[in-house]
Amino acid sequence: MNIVLLGAPGAGKGTQAAKLVSEEGLCHISTGDILRQAVKDQTELGMKAKAFMDAGDLVPDELIIDLMRERIQQPDTAKGVILDGFPRTTTQAVALDTMLSELGRPLDAALLIDVDPEIIVGRLTSRRMCRECGAIGTAADGDTCKKCGGEMYQRDDDNETTVRNRLEVYEKSTSPLIDYYRGCDLLVTIDGDRDPEVVFVDVKSVLK
């Protein structure tokens, strides 16, 4: 099964993807996680991407498409993938269609996790992430990861100014994908403004 998770930053795509990985054994590919690791490792890709990420802007399509073309061919994707944060532009969506058709693996669904933008600002500015395992929590959870004991930190791009820019970028560049996938008859919309466990019940029922 190959799934695209759509939704604004902070809608809960990463949280739902993590649940799908543990229950369905699918391979989770988050371009944001790959880029953050590249920045941390100071690779060529990381150095090219950092300024865009810090500003809340999109990394150029060519870099992301090259990255994804290589990642999607790795053996761990054979059982199926959950794409989280990719595609984010129509150019990326068209490139993904080509990649999947070359691999003979069609897309099964594009799940839109729908959340009101003002709720997102509050969610993201209080979001925390584990430096070690990438688990997602909130400021109220404290400084230590419940899963692995690592340090919980606030992402550089989760401050309010950058969050508002990321939401504008989403509206302008990524929300047209909703119509794109509706046109392919692959779009399913799920109300993301609920407890993650309740959202997950809907996600699973859609994928059955």
Least Å distance, CB 167 to ligand AMP, is 10
Packing angle between helix 44-55 and helix 31-40, nearest 10 degrees? 110
User: Binding-site residue total for ligand AMP (CB under 6 A)?
Assistant: 17
- Is 31 among the residues that bind ligand AMP (CB under 6 A)? yes
Is residue 192 a contact point for ligand AMP (CB under 6 A)?
no
Q: Is 12 in the site for ligand AMP (CB under 6 A)?
A: no
The CB density around residue 162, as the number of other CB atoms within 10 Å, is 20
Report the alpha-carbon distance of residue 57 to residue 201 in Å, rounded: 32
The piece of 80-88, 112-120, 137-145, 184-192 that touches ligand AMP (CB under 6 A) is 80-88
Which is closer to ligand AMP, CB of 58 or CB of 203?
A: 58
Is residue 177 near ligand AMP by the rule CB under 6 A? no
- CB of residue 32 vs ligand AMP: minimum separation in angstroms? 2
39 binds ligand AMP (CB under 6 A): no
Closest CA to 190 of 7, 26, 3, 2: 7
Using the contact rule CB under 6 A, the part of the chain among 55-63, 102-110, 131-139, 200-208 near ligand AMP is 55-63
**Residue 127 per-residue DSSP state:** E
Token code pair at residue 176: 């047209």
Asked if 88 touches ligand AMP (CB under 6 A), the answer is: yes
Residue at token pair 């419940």: 146
Q: Shortest Cβ distance from residue 123 to ligand AMP (Å)? A: 12
Structure-block tokens of residue 192? 């993301």
Which residues does the annotation mark as catalytic? Answer: 13, 88, 127, 155, 166
Of residues 73 and 201, the one with the C-beta less far from ligand AMP: 73
Residue 64 interacting with ligand AMP (CB under 6 A): yes
- Taking a C-beta distance cutoff of 8 angstroms, is the pair 142, 152 a contact? yes
Phi-psi category of residue 154: left, alpha or beta, with phi > 0 → left and psi -120 to 50 → alpha: beta
Residue 186: partners with Cβ closer than 8 Å, 6 or more residues away: 4, 107, 108, 109, 110
Structure token digits, residue 7 = 């939704």
User: Residue 25 is which amino acid?
Assistant: G
166 binds ligand AMP (CB under 6 A): yes
Residues that bind ligand AMP (CB under 6 A): 9, 31-32, 35, 52-53, 56-59, 64, 85-86, 88, 92, 157, 166
